[in-house]
A and B are shown apart, each in its own frame.
Chain A
Amino acid sequence: DAGVIQSPRHEVTEMGQEVTLRCKPISGHNSLFWYRQTMMRGLELLIYFNNNVPIDDSGMPEDRFSAKMPNASFSTLKIQPSEPRDSAVYFCASTDSYEQYFGPGTRLTVT
C-alpha cells in the first residue's frame, strides 16, 4: 500500500517567492495534518482537516500561510511570501482513527 505522498521532497527558493507544498494522504484516511519541524521548536501542528474541512488552524504562524484540501486525496500548504525563518521540514500525516502516519516530508530552504 502506498503511504502518504509529499512533493516536492526538497525546495530551495528565494525570500519573497511563493511556495506550494503538496500532499496525498493514504487512501481511505479521512483526516489530514500538516506539521513543521525545526531544531529549535521541534514538531509543531500547523493545521488539520477532517473530511476535507479545516478544523484547527491555530498553529498556522501567520497570514502568509494557507492550506486547502479540495478533495479527499489532495492537500496543499502555501507560503506567500516566503521568508528565511520558514526554512524547515514540512510533514503531512493522515489517519482514519487516532494513529497518524507521516509522509517523507518536504525540506524547505528559503534564502
Chain B
Amino acid sequence: QKEVEQNSGPLSVPEGAIASLNCTYSDRVSQSFFWYRQYSGKSPELIMSIYSNGDKEDGRFTAQLNKASQYVSLLIRDSQPSDSATYLCAVIPYSGGGADGLTFGKGTHLIIQP
C-alpha cells in the first residue's frame, strides 16, 4: 500500500514568516512529487513539482526533496493571509514512463495569522 503522510494541522504561522510543510512517502521508487493548494470548496491547484533531489524555487515557494529520507517539503516565504489553505502533497510512483495516477496525502491546513 503506497502511502503519503502529512501532518493535518492546523499549522498557524504569523503573516510575513516562513511556513514549512512536510510530507513523507512510503514507496521508495517514487519519482515525481507535487504540491497542490486547495482552498475550501475549490479544486486542487498545482503550485510546485519536483523530480530530483535538492531545492526548487518558484517565487515565494521552495520545494525540497530528499529521496534517501523519502521526504518532501514546501517552504512559503513572506506568508500572506491569502496563503491560508490546505496543502496537499502528491506522489507518482515509478511507472516506466507516461502519466500515472497521483497518490495524495490528507493535506495540511495552513492558517496565516495577520
Contact = CB atoms under 8 A, between A and B. Distances in A.
A63 interface: no
A102 B98 CA distance: 18
Contacts of B70: none
B47 to A, nearest CB: 11
Secondary structure call for the A interface: strand
Interface string B19-42: 000000000000010101000001
Interface size classification for chain A: 20 to 34
Interface stretch (A14-22, A68-76, A78-86, A93-101): A93-101
Interface in A28-87: 30-31, 33, 35, 42-45, 48, 50, 56, 59
Secondary structure call for the B interface: loop
B82 interface: no
Contacts of A45: 101-103
Contacts of B103: 45
A31 B97 CA distance: 13
Given A104-B43, A105-B43, A98 B101 contact: no
B106 interface: yes
B101 A59 contact: yes
Nearest to A98: B32
B46 interface: yes
A42 B8 CA distance: 11
A44 B105 CA distance: 10
Interface string B88-107: 10001000001111111111
B99 A31 contact: yes
A44 B98 CA distance: 20
Interface of B: 32, 34, 36, 42-46, 49, 51, 88, 92, 98-107
Interface of A: 30-31, 33, 35, 42-45, 48, 50, 56, 59, 91, 95, 97-105
